[in-house]
Amino acid sequence: MRSSFLRAITAASLLTTTAAAPAVADNLGAALVGGLLGGVIVNEVNKNKRRTVVRSSSVSSATRAHNRETQTALNYFGFSAGTPDGVLGRRSREATRQYQMFMGFPQSGNLTQYERDYLVTSYNRALTGGTQVAKAMQSPQGIRSILKVWHGAPAGNSGGFGYAGLPIEVSNAVDEIAAAGDPTGDQLLQRTGFMQLADLNDDGRNDYLIDTSAAGIPYWCNSGGASCTVMVFASTPQGYERNDFTAGNITTADFTCTRGECDRTEAQGTTLAAAPAPQPVPTAPIPQGGTVLASGGSQSGLSGIQLFATPAAPVASLTSHCSKVSLLTSSNGGYMTVSSITDPELALGEQFCLARSYAINNGETLVASLQGVTSAQVDAQCDQFGPALKPYVAQLSSGDSSAVAASMQKFVLQSNMSVEQLKNTAQICLFSGYRRDNMDVALGASLLLVGLGQQPYAELIGHHLALGFGSSVDFNRAQGWYQAAVTALESGAEPVFAPGQPERVALVKAASTGLTQPGLPKPVQASSGGAALPTFGSNN
């Protein structure tokens, strides 16, 4: 996913929402800056959780959100900052000193921009999980040990730390930039956007991007100021290698690295613009029950006879499918169990529809708590969400579950958005997608949740692949996603669907395994007739 695409989506989302509801315009500005789609959703949900309304404060809402994120990250790594209330008081400053002491930074009690960026980036990265995180949790120092793993100086002659705890190569570059103008290196590190962190070469350690446009030093930019020097530092066993580019308005998502060598990824010029209204085409009157293909043709003997096109194949409707599954379940006396599986596809269909129902109910709860945000606004934002993740959905037909999940995780880490915002957006758009039978939105939301480390949601992707909703049917690829969800649940992850059914994990495991075993009974096909069939979910 290219950063230019994300910025376009953010702009489109802002325009869509502000046009629909001027009443919430004051909230949207701060909510959507730096966010994908759901900033307003997250802010409203958090606001509703606070029962006391503070009418005046010297700290802006944007600053409080910024501070809460810092406090949450400190608490996660065991530096107790207390309840994340957005006010950096005595307890937060002490937690900051403990973090700085642990990392070997100057113990001022106030975070530099770099120190905060590293803390919050590591927190978001840890939430997505992975082998390194699992090992860190088992270490004597606990999860905080991952901070040093990701930040550690490499072995070799050129490794080491400069000031502010930066790798020496990065530290020297900061000094080089500062030498050409007025700001000091310490002042540059306080500037938002001057430095960004991400693992660009997938070696498990942080890489660094310095954007000199934030330095405000003409020496590093061209005469028009449209583009400035961008330095990308990629980690190697011998130290950090520097790669210089000239660019403007970039993020870490614009670069890929192989060991120490980095390249800029070409942007996909995607424009989110309204399609022109179709021009009316004169047609002959259409008889009931058909679509005119041609009229008055000169074919022998056919003049004046209406010809009809072959009806297009209908798009598979999950709502309709769940209605049929519900009817079959009722006819069979209830849901299949581990001991009574006769049709793996039907068993998985029952569980898919059950999971869909839970996702809709959870999303409805979130949306109902919003103030000043309409369902139409939510749907409009989520309709931008589907295209944003479409490239990742497309990978499902060619990549295995681990490769696609890793790609999604990289998107999360390079999005420069908070995990809380992405998670809330994904859960609400999952509801919006399933409620409206929009499989692009629902499948994209499921993928994003997996990328955020919510592995139980991988079950949904398995269902989509096994039953062919939003993707082509692929039993073998579905297996990987089912296995990811089952492994997480068997390892103690909190269930997100039907938590009161302890046998459900074993049922999904047995039924998904049965998909690829020969000789099992074929699924019972539900009749396509009947308009009033029972459905799962709420408010479809």
| Beta-ladder partners of 245 | 230
11 domain residue, yes or no: no
In a shared domain, residues 147 and 163: no
More confidently predicted of 275 and 186: 186
**CA 235, CA 237: separation in Å to the nearest integer?**
7
pLDDT higher than threshold 50 for residue 405: yes
pLDDT exceeds 50 at position 171: yes
Average per-residue pLDDT for the chain? 75
**Are both 325 and 421 inside the same structural domain?**
yes
Max mean pLDDT among 53-62, 224-233, 381-390 falls in 224-233
List, in sequence order, every residue forming a beta bridge with 378; answer none if it has no partner.
none
Residue 225 lies in a domain: yes
**Residue 89 lies inside a defined structural domain of this protein:** yes
- CA dist 212 and 229 (Å) reads 6
Query: Cα–Cα distance between 249 and 87 in angstroms, integer?
Result: 31
Q: Are residues 142 and 201 in the same domain?
A: no
Total structural domains in the chain?
A: 3
Give yes or no: residues 323 and 472 share one domain: yes
Burial of 274 (0-12, 13-18, 19+ CB in 10 A): exposed
SS (HEC) of 265-289: CCCCCCCCCCCCCCCCCCCCCCCCC
The position carrying tokens 């990978």 is 395
Tell whether 440 and 327 lie within a shared domain. yes
Residue 525 falls inside a structural domain: no
Domain boundary among 151, 183, 201: 151
Check residue 524 and give its pLDDT: 42
Is residue 162 assigned to a domain?
A: yes
Judge contact between 177 and 183, C-beta under 8 A: no
Which of 224, 241, 266 is a domain's end point? 266
- Domain containing 170 equals 154-266
pLDDT per residue over 35-65, tens digit each? 344 444 444 444 444 444 444 445 577 788 8
Give the integer Cα–Cα distance in Å for 481 and 463. Answer: 9
Burial of 123 (0-12, 13-18, 19+ CB in 10 A): buried
**Helix pair 90-103, 61-76: axis angle to 10 deg:** 50
Q: Is 205 helix (H, G, I), strand (E, B) or coil?
A: coil
Cα–Cα distance measured from residue 212 to residue 230, given in angstroms and rounded to the nearest whole number: 6
90 lies in the same domain as 159: no
Residues 129 and 182 in one domain: no
pLDDT bin (cut points 50, 70, 90) of residue 138 is confident
Over the stretch 451-475, which tens digit does the pLDDT of each residue have?
A: 988 999 999 999 999 999 999 999 9
Question: Considering the domain boundaries, does residue 503 fall inside one?
Answer: yes
Residues 159 and 192 in one domain: yes
Concatenating the DSSP letter of every residue in 452-503 gives: TT-GGGHHHHHHHHHHTSSS---HHHHHHHHHHHHHHHHTTPPPSS-TT-TT
- pTM, full prediction: 0.57
Q: Is 335 left (phi over 0), alpha (psi -120 to 50) or beta?
A: beta
- Does 363 share its domain with 477? yes
Tokens found for residue 44 = 């409203």
Residues 146, 163: one domain? Answer: no
Same structural domain for residues 91 and 227?
Answer: no
- Final residue of a domain: which of 266, 293, 308? 266
Q: Does residue 304 lie in a domain region?
A: no
pLDDT value of position 161: 67
Say if 31 falls within a structural domain. no
SS3 371: coil
One domain for residues 402 and 498: yes
C-beta neighbour count of 137 within 10 angstroms:
12
